[in-house]
Structure 1
Amino acid sequence: MTLPLRAIDLDTVQAFVWVADLGSFTRAAETLDTSQAAISLKLKRLEDRLGCRLLERTPRHVRLSPEGESFLAPARDLLAAHARALSGIAPAPPRRLVLGISDHVAGPELPGLVARLAATDPGLVIEVRIGPSRDLGAAFDRGEVDAVIVRREGERRDGRLLAEERVGWFAASTWRRRPGEPLRLATLAAPCGVRAVATRALDAAGIPWTEVFVGGGVLALGAAISAGLGVAALAGRVTPAGAVEVGESLGLPPLPASQVVLRTRLADARAREALRVVGSAFRSAIPR
């Protein structure tokens, strides 16, 4: 006689999807606002129900087993169907989240972050603004944006620390400094915090420099690096393909790490949940 299939707990499926997406029990626990032990218990319960191992665990990595790879798409479909069923019973009013992200922070993972926001709450209208940390912080203080992910600047210590990432000196692999000439810098327009830190460090080290390119955003700055115009101070995560770190070879001063923080005043529980998801995903994207 065939035994009836036991029902699957949706919470365990949600935990599995987040561990698969973030590659970490710790990050999944942060996203779901629970403990790592609770996530492990949910995954064990789900694997027991399905009768197979979904994840291969090592001290450093979590990866999907072949069975986990097969189950991931149906798991997403199940969660999406559940969300559609609930919205059909009690449609939620449209909500808008205005999120500012520093151009020194918005790296190649930005499309993934936006996708995670949309997947967390399909009814959420997402407005993302990219700009300098200082401008976005001022917009947040004026109440023009709901939340910002920015570099911590000056003496401010508010906001939730998401990550610290190293800032270095980058140039095109073919770029060479001519003997005796000032260091040729590509920067963002003042008042950029990274520019201020970099130029102060050069002045303190007695290294002459000259500005040869001023960009309106990190994309333009990356184009200047790729074109071989000069050296720029950037986090490695947002540098253009082919750029190399040249600080040590040129004897340039080390730069302090950049602290990335999340500031929010949101009271709406669903929007705060979406921001937790983004914060966890962002921390997962930062190289350690």
Structure 2
Amino acid sequence: MLDAAAVQAFVLVADLASFTRAAAALNSSQAAVSLKIRRLEEALGRRLLDRTPRLVRLSPDGATFLPAARELVAAQHKAIGAFTQEERRIGVAISHHIVGADLTTLLQHLHRSDPGLVVEVRITTSAEALAALKDGSSDCAIVLNHDGRRRDGEVLFTEEFRWTAVPDFDFRPGAVLPLATQASPCNVRAMAVSALDKAGIRWSEVFVGGGAQTIGAAVRAGLAVAALARRVAPIGTVDVGRKLGLPPLPARDVVLLSGTGSVTKRQAIKLLGRSFRALAGR
């Protein structure tokens, strides 16, 4: 008999290409995950992973075993839910400042971890995400903790912000900095303009967007500089803060907040948190 927990650990390592990220997703240690997979390999009599100091990848036997391993994990979730009639569905509101193109990877990871879970995702502002949690239209919210006063959420990771622009963005010291921002009120906008004002750098909004993706489009078009989280910065853009002499931007904790909900929903939200932490380590 195979250890189902070891099989799940193997699937996570295969998906995330990292023992460290798999351990974070399982809320475990790297050593514990490594031990589980070593025992799984011993039970199968096969080497499933090729390990190097910088790389973890599937061996030929691991690639053969992975589809069956996914089926086993899915069967385990189905078995656990055999005695409940409640549909496993959660509503999630996520700040647009902390999820971008990697949303695809997040959803893949959630589906692979629990194929029967239905996830309703809303990408919005932190304020609207918190409002959705309060009125019950979302079961949980993943937002930036700007003021540090929220103590009721689970800190998933710390997000870094940077001054983002195209590599050849032209700005001369002493000139007015063209800025792309989210419409006010927005805490990231307030953070950015406060940093510029304290540094004595003149700025002017030349583009006001309705979300991080629209702001990113203006940045890629070469219209302006924007304060964006590392993970939502568009492909082809770079951190120009040091090059342009702009003040450093503070980091912000990303927190998961949830309502009471049922045991089923709480388990699903816990899975979401593990998936988000694993994604942050990529």
Matched letter for residue 234 of structure 1: L
- 5+ residue gaps, structure 1: 1-6
Residue 279 of structure 2 is aligned to residue 285 of structure 1: yes
Equivalent positions of 1:22-171 (< 5 A) are: 22-34=16-28, 36-58=30-52, 61-83=55-77, 90=83, 92-158=85-151, 159-171=153-165
In structure 2, the CA distance between the partners of 1:8 and 1:150, relative to structure 1 (3 Å rule), is same
Alpha-carbon separation, structure 2, partners of 1:85 and 1:254:
50
CA contact (8 A) 2:50 2:59 kept: yes
Match of 2:225 among 231, 240, 248: 231
SS at match of 1:141: helix
Match of 1:172 among 127, 150, 166: 166
Alpha-carbon separation, structure 2, partners of 1:147 and 1:168:
27
Q: Tell which deviates more after alignment, 182-191 or 168-177.
A: 168-177
* Equivalent pairs, count: 281
CA contact (8 A) 1:10 1:79 kept: yes
CA contact (8 A) 2:166 2:237 kept: yes
SS at match of 1:175: coil
Partner residue, 1:191: 185
| 1:123-145 deviation per Cα after TM superposition (whole angstroms, max 9, x unaligned) | 43311111111221233233332
Deviation at 1:28, TM superposition (A): 3.5
Equivalent positions of 1:238-277 (< 5 A) are: 238-277=232-271
In structure 2, the CA distance between the partners of 1:287 and 1:253, relative to structure 1 (3 Å rule), is farther
| 1:139-175 deviation per Cα after TM superposition (whole angstroms, max 9, x unaligned) | 3233332111111122423211111122111112232
Q: Normalising by structure 1, report the TM-score.
A: 0.86
Alpha-carbon separation, structure 2, partners of 1:179 and 1:164:
31
CA contact (8 A) 1:53 1:65 kept: yes
Partner residue, 1:3: none
Q: CA-atom RMSD, angstroms?
A: 2.5
Residue 195 of structure 2 is aligned to residue 201 of structure 1: yes
Q: Percent identity?
A: 52
| 1:243-278 deviation per Cα after TM superposition (whole angstroms, max 9, x unaligned) | 122111111100001211111224434433333333
Alpha-carbon separation, structure 1, partners of 2:19 and 2:270:
15
Q: Tell which deviates more after alignment, 63-72 or 127-136.
A: 63-72
Alpha-carbon separation, structure 2, partners of 1:85 and 1:234:
43
Q: Which has the larger radius of gyration?
A: 1
- 5+ residue gaps, structure 2: none
